[in-house]
């Protein structure tokens, strides 16, 4: 067994109409927003590939999955980049490939933190699975196609110099009938990094499960 190359987060695969890149919307982050993961004591940074939800104040924040057995939050989109002006570090605006937790800008719109978000409903996405026991062969993963599956934030610091949310497929949750799970499995990725289906970080292609998305119903399909 050899582990496959780990790739971070939720990654664009293709659009439903075969468009090569998703459309993005610039969305605001609330002042002092902390990006937390259930059961993980340190606030994490918001990175490209992280899932986000829309809050009641119109901002977006890190969207929790079913880590630690909790109910997944309603995912609206995936972070595809940081806002053009960067974030306020207490003195000035600075650019960064990620947004730190807890950035404070008060009520100044000019200092507002923003991220570029692709609505998850646009197409198919690639994600890494989180265990090496639920399936161990290509055919084993192929058998999950058409089933719903959850995602979780497997927060980590060991794999990066800064704390990350590390969104992955919670493959053990796969079920053909559980409507509330976030994604639907639509294929086994043909990514060259899929070298060993008995190893860690096998990659699958998923789409949003309509019933898990706020655009549709709260019951699921």
pLDDT reported for residue 161: 64
Per-residue tokens: 124: 């198919």
Q: Which residues of the chain register pLDDT less than 50?
A: 214-221
**167 has which bridge partners?**
153
> Is 14 contained in some domain?
no
How many structural domains is the chain composed of? 2
> Is 219 contained in some domain?
no
Statement to judge: residues 203 and 140 lie in one domain: yes
> Is 5 contained in some domain?
no
Statement to judge: residues 53 and 81 lie in one domain: yes
The domain of 128 spans 122-212
> Is 153 contained in some domain?
yes
CB atoms within 10 A of CB 190: 10
Statement to judge: residues 100 and 138 lie in one domain: no
Statement to judge: residues 111 and 163 lie in one domain: no
Statement to judge: residues 74 and 133 lie in one domain: no
> Is 6 contained in some domain?
no
pLDDT reported for residue 129: 97
pLDDT reported for residue 220: 39
Statement to judge: residues 26 and 114 lie in one domain: yes
Statement to judge: residues 32 and 105 lie in one domain: yes
> Is 45 contained in some domain?
yes
Domain boundary among 95, 119, 143: 119
> Is 7 contained in some domain?
no
Domain boundary among 59, 89, 119: 119
Find out whether 12 and 23 touch, Cβ atoms under 8 Å.
no
CA distance 32 to 124: 32
Q: Whole-number mean pLDDT of the chain?
A: 89
pLDDT reported for residue 157: 60
Statement to judge: residues 85 and 110 lie in one domain: yes
Statement to judge: residues 127 and 169 lie in one domain: yes
pLDDT reported for residue 70: 87
Statement to judge: residues 87 and 137 lie in one domain: no
Statement to judge: residues 102 and 139 lie in one domain: no
pLDDT reported for residue 206: 97
> Is 217 contained in some domain?
no
* DSSP category for residue 91: S
What backbone torsions phi and psi does residue 166 show, to the nearest 5 degrees?
A: 55, 65
Statement to judge: residues 97 and 184 lie in one domain: no
The model's pTM: 0.90
Domain boundary among 66, 90, 119: 119
CB atoms within 10 A of CB 24: 17
């Amino acid at each position: 067994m050899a582990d496959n190359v780990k790739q971070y987060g939720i990654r664009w695969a293709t659009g439903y109409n075969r468009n090569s890149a998703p459309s993005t919307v610039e969305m605001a982050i609330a002042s002092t927003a902390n990006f937390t993961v259930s059961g993980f004591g340190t606030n994490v940074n918001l990175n490209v590939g992280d899932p986000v939800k829309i809050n009641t104040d119109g901002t977006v924040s890190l969207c929790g999955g079913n880590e630690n057995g909790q109910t997944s939050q309603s995912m609206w989109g995936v972070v595809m980049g940081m806002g053009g002006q960067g974030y306020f570090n207490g003195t000035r605006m600075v650019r960064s490939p990620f947004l730190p937790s807890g950035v404070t800008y008060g009520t100044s719109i000019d200092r507002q933190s923003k991220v570029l978000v692709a609505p998850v409903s646009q197409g198919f996405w690639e994600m890494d699975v989180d265990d090496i026991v639920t399936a161990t062969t290509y055919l084993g993963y192929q058998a999950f196609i058409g089933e719903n599956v959850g995602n979780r934030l497997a927060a980590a610091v060991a794999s990066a110099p800064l704390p990350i949310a590390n969104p992955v497929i919670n493959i053990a949750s796969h079920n053909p009938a559980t409507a509330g799970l976030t994604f639907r499995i639509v294929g086994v990725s043909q990514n060259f990094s899929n070298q060993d289906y008995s190893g860690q970080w096998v990659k699958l292609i998923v789409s949003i499960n309509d019933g898990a998305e706020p655009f549709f119903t709260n019951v699921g399909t």
